[in-house]
Chains A and B, each alone.
Chain A
Amino acid sequence: MVEKIRVRATLNGEPVDFLVAPYVSLLDTLRDELGLTGTKEGCNDGNCGACTVNLDGRIVDSCCVLGAEIDGSAVETIEGMAEPGKLHPLQQAFLEEAALQCGICTPGFLISAKALLDKEPHPSEDRIRFWLAGNLCRCTGYDKIVKAVQKAAESA
């Protein structure tokens, strides 16, 4: 039995303190150890973006990061995006613009798009398409996702 590693980090603004085996991905840590299943697995090799989370201000595919690596870091997932009773403008725009269908890729898109708007409040359409190229969606054809990000940028 491999010895587990103690990890202390900030998750969606709250301190967390947990044990995790050294080979477990951040994705599985979030879903299985910490009970946050909003982060989704689509490929487990960094190609679909469904597991995107924000790690110290950068977006990462959480399937390609180890849970033990986040010691001392701040992680934001979809569960931390809305304030109580109030959706983030991006969530609101996705809802109003029908920027989702099956919804499995939606958390990853929202985390990616938020990182873009945090850095660049008024990106061009090309810039949005480039930034979101790491997130695959198979239902929408991306059109309404791009429009929702534009709308959220305008409302900010």
Chain B
Amino acid sequence: MVGTAEQINLSGERLAKVDALPKVTGSAEFGADIDLPGLLQAKILRSPHAHANIKFIDTSAAEALPGVEAVVTGADFPTIEAGGSAGTGEVDISLRYLSELVIARRKVLFQGHPVAAVAARTADIAEEATNLIKIEYEVLTSVQDPVEAMAPGAPLLHHDMLTKSIGGEADAPSNVALHVELGRGDVDAGFAASDHIVEQTYKTSIVHQGYIEPEAETAWYHSDGTIEVWANTQGIFDHRTQLSNILELEPGNILVRGTEVGGAFGAKAQTRISPLCILLSKGSGKPVQIVLSRTEVLTATGPGAAATVTVKIGATNDGKMKAVQARFVYGAGAFPGAPVAIGCLCSFAPYQPEAARIDGYDVVTNTPRVAAYRAPGATVASYAAESAVDEMAQKLGMDPIDFRLANISKTGDQNMNDMEFTAIGIEEMLLAAKAHPHYTAPLKGKNAGRGIGIGWWPNGIGVSSCRMIVNQDGTISLIVGTMDLSSTRTGFVQLAAETLGLNPSEVQITTGDTSSIPYSGTAGGSRVTRSMASAIYDASQNIVDQIKERIASKLGVTPEFVEFSDGEFAARDVPDNSMSFRDAAREAASGSNDIVASASNDPNMRAANGYALNIADVDVDPDTGKPTLTRFTAFQDVGKAVNPDAVEGQIQGGAVQGIGWALNEEYVYDDTGVLQNASLLDYRMPTALDLPRIDCVILETPADEGPYGVRGVGEPPIIPPAGAIANAIHNAVGTRMTQLPMSPERVFWAMRDAANGSSEAAGD
């Protein structure tokens, strides 16, 4: 029989990525590479205003332009009343709001909100036609900052939105959609018993995931009512469900195919433009494609949420965290659903304060509706929490790692939501950092400082499905239903090959479409490898059992006496009578074509914690305030590194996104809610030149349950950089940076204020 999952030792090979060849030769097919006979291009007309009522729309001139084949407005879409979940993953949205986000009805709620769309023979004609659409707006006062949006008298976005909280629903509408509360113990007593208290407010701005490939989707509405969709989506099945719900179509009539996804990081978990393509295709009878421009991507897709966080910590002289109080205000953008609950949960999850009270608010603003961005909510929470924790360590005169160790969460401890931590090696991670040469290496530079930060993420599970087919030559075809955002296909090939005793080259993998494979959830939340590993394990076991049946007679025994281990089938107690998997599979498949197994993981299996730690060195230019990273080490516990190259790639990429968030990136709005930096020149992401090497330390504390001990990898690396860099800057120049990004200008003024003896916190 197949060994138990725990007995299978993955070699953790650095296998070249199975998707690499088409990507280095330019043949990989991304969203905008889809071409079809008679394909039309469509453009979206978007609101120039951040907040306005639509008085009327006249599309007649656009429709009359030669080359235009279809025009749609909000009036062409069904009115969705359902408040239920649209299933968009970590940062969910209701169906009604998703529908109104795809295209505005009576009101526009952010600059860039779609109002109409035109399909034409060429993109140029479509663009020209959008300029011919006449719209009269009644412009309203807008609000971009979530704290301002909470204030009495702020412009109200939704007149029917009542704050939900543990106590029920508020009586009067406001911009606060949700108030969450977490905590334990008596915080007032905890602060009273504390020898030291630190308290500070931290502020962050909206940031973008910054994927290099803009959203690109194509739809073909056929005359029999069936619909084909090609999308660079994170989840083909949930995409189909969203389409069927907001367009009131039969899901069985919609076939969704995923293209290669040129970066997503959470933002492509939600359908955005294919509903427009579908109705334009229905109107024109031809396939329709929309490819967003970079300006549209930055202005009007789903960025990561801004937050304002106030944190108060009390501790005793011996380093015991007595009480934590925190207030999180997250901006959701135009419709509710910011990652509030999870941000609150992540903030102090690494620690075990005796008492805690955490309040979180989900606030709507006249900005694009946020989407998930890699560990959504956790990065800003960790930035605030880790800054405050470091402040406290300094006040106590303790080493920052020692203070953290004195309060660290361990296996079996409770998190703030009363859930028990399953196997967690966060203490081991801190000890590994303390023992690492980087932690004690001499600093380089005149104004140099070193900081650490840690981050925690619960990881997800959901459902993943695969189908395994034994080919006539004894090789395996593996079809999966999850989209590959992070080399997951390569890991799956390794898992299948090693479980069956094949070479990776004997496993061919393809990504299925919504008609060829059972449901698989959206790729997100660092859930895919762990859940699919379980499905692949079960499918492999099923294949092995089928082969046993077929080859038993060949081995001269009945099937129950056939054993399989280390890639060999053998008759029990019969020496020298064995067959390799490949030979046995070829033999078994020779007379039949039906050795097939499908499997899905158990969605009730528990997710495994993810956590990461950074040590960051900075050197601050005293004349310009520019912090330069000089050394950076990223630690992460991944449970089991299926493919260390892929794991390092995730860690390095996530860390650099966190570094960009910490140092450069932010949305800048003018007073009317118009984005001022909607280009990659002005929204500046890190280049190769801005960065040192990102050294990785992979730790492997096996996760409980599920095969191979794997944890999710993708989310945690983005969480700690902002806190670690803020702490490094503080240690370098003595100023506490309370606003992200910690741009040269902000650091410069913070240093100037400190030199002038101002007690004002750094900010602008």
Question: Closest CB-CB distance, B746 to chain A, in whole Å?
Answer: 23
CA distance A97 to B14 in the complex (A): 9
A91 at the interface (CB under 8 A from B): yes
Question: Closest CB-CB distance, A62 to chain B, in whole Å?
Answer: 13
Q: In the complex, which of the residues B209, B261, B263, B685 has the most CB atoms of chain A within 10 Å of its own CB atom?
A: B263
Closest chain B residue to A142, Cβ basis: B688
B441 at the interface (CB under 8 A from A): no
Question: How many B residues face the partner with a CB closer than 8 A?
Answer: 56
A106 at the interface (CB under 8 A from B): yes
Q: In the complex, which of the residues B16, B22, B654, B680 has the most CB atoms of chain A within 10 Å of its own CB atom?
A: B680
Chain B 17-35 per-residue mask, 1 if CB under 8 angstroms from chain A, else 0: 1011111111111101100
Choose one: B26, B261, B679; the contact of A47 (CB below 8 Å). Answer: B679
- What residues of A have a CB within 8 angstroms of the CB of B656 in the complex? 140-142
Chain B 605-647 per-residue mask, 1 if CB under 8 angstroms from chain A, else 0: 0000000000000000000000000000000000000000110
CA distance A132 to B260 in the complex (A): 24
Question: Closest CB-CB distance, A72 to chain B, in whole Å?
Answer: 25
Q: Are B262 and A102 interface neighbours, CB within 8 A?
A: yes
- What residues of B have a CB within 8 angstroms of the CB of A47 in the complex? 679-681
Chain A 124-151 per-residue mask, 1 if CB under 8 angstroms from chain B, else 0: 0000111011111111111111100000
Q: Are A104 and B213 interface neighbours, CB within 8 A?
A: yes
Q: Are A104 and B25 interface neighbours, CB within 8 A?
A: no
Q: Are B26 and A78 interface neighbours, CB within 8 A?
A: yes
B694 at the interface (CB under 8 A from A): yes
- What residues of B have a CB within 8 angstroms of the CB of A105 in the complex? 212, 262
Interface set, chain B 648-673, CB cutoff 8 A to A: 648-649, 652-657
Question: Closest CB-CB distance, A142 to chain B, in whole Å?
Answer: 4
Choose one: A100, A135, A136; the contact of B17 (CB below 8 Å). Answer: A100
CA distance A137 to B646 in the complex (A): 16
Q: Are A144 and B652 interface neighbours, CB within 8 A?
A: yes
Chain B 224-268 per-residue mask, 1 if CB under 8 angstroms from chain A, else 0: 000000000000000000000000000000000000111111000
CB within 8 Å: A-B pair count: 171
Closest chain B residue to A137, Cβ basis: B212
Q: In the complex, which of the residues A50, A95, A101 has the most CB atoms of chain B within 10 Å of its own CB atom?
A: A101
A143 and B694 contact, Cβ closer than 8 Å, known pairs A44-B293, A98-B646, A136-B212: yes
B211 at the interface (CB under 8 A from A): yes
Q: In the complex, which of the residues A39, A96, A130, A139 has the most CB atoms of chain B within 10 Å of its own CB atom?
A: A139
A57 at the interface (CB under 8 A from B): no
Q: In the complex, which of the residues B24, B657, B681 has the most CB atoms of chain A within 10 Å of its own CB atom?
A: B24
Interface set, chain A 91-114, CB cutoff 8 A to B: 91, 94-98, 100-107, 110
Q: Are B25 and A78 interface neighbours, CB within 8 A?
A: yes
- What residues of B have a CB within 8 angstroms of the CB of A143 in the complex? 648, 652, 693-694
CA distance A87 to B22 in the complex (A): 11
Choose one: A37, A91, A136, A142; the contact of B24 (CB below 8 Å). Answer: A91
A69 at the interface (CB under 8 A from B): no
Choose one: B24, B212, B648, B679; the contact of A144 (CB below 8 Å). Answer: B648
Question: Closest CB-CB distance, A138 to chain B, in whole Å?
Answer: 5
Q: In the complex, which of the residues B17, B486, B655 has the most CB atoms of chain A within 10 Å of its own CB atom?
A: B17
- What residues of B have a CB within 8 angstroms of the CB of A98 in the complex? 14, 16-17, 20, 487, 645-646, 648-649
Question: Closest CB-CB distance, A49 to chain B, in whole Å?
Answer: 9
B687 at the interface (CB under 8 A from A): yes
Question: Closest CB-CB distance, A91 to chain B, in whole Å?
Answer: 4
Q: In the complex, which of the residues B26, B652, B656 has the most CB atoms of chain A within 10 Å of its own CB atom?
A: B26
A95 and B294 contact, Cβ closer than 8 Å, known pairs A103-B28, A144-B648: no
CA distance A114 to B291 in the complex (A): 29
- What residues of A have a CB within 8 angstroms of the CB of B29 in the complex? 37
CA distance A39 to B689 in the complex (A): 23
Q: Are A138 and B691 interface neighbours, CB within 8 A?
A: no
B210 at the interface (CB under 8 A from A): yes
- What residues of B have a CB within 8 angstroms of the CB of A81 in the complex? 25-26
B720 at the interface (CB under 8 A from A): no
Choose one: B14, B294, B645; the contact of A42 (CB below 8 Å). Answer: B294
Q: Are B30 and A104 interface neighbours, CB within 8 A?
A: yes
Show 14 A/B contacts (Cβ-Cβ < 8 Å), sorted by A: A36-B26, A42-B213, A44-B293, A45-B679, A77-B26, A94-B24, A98-B14, A100-B23, A101-B653, A102-B264, A103-B262, A104-B212, A105-B262, A146-B693
Q: Which 9 A-B pairs have the closest CB atoms?
A: A38-B26, A104-B262, A103-B23, A141-B652, A78-B26, A141-B656, A98-B645, A47-B680, A43-B294
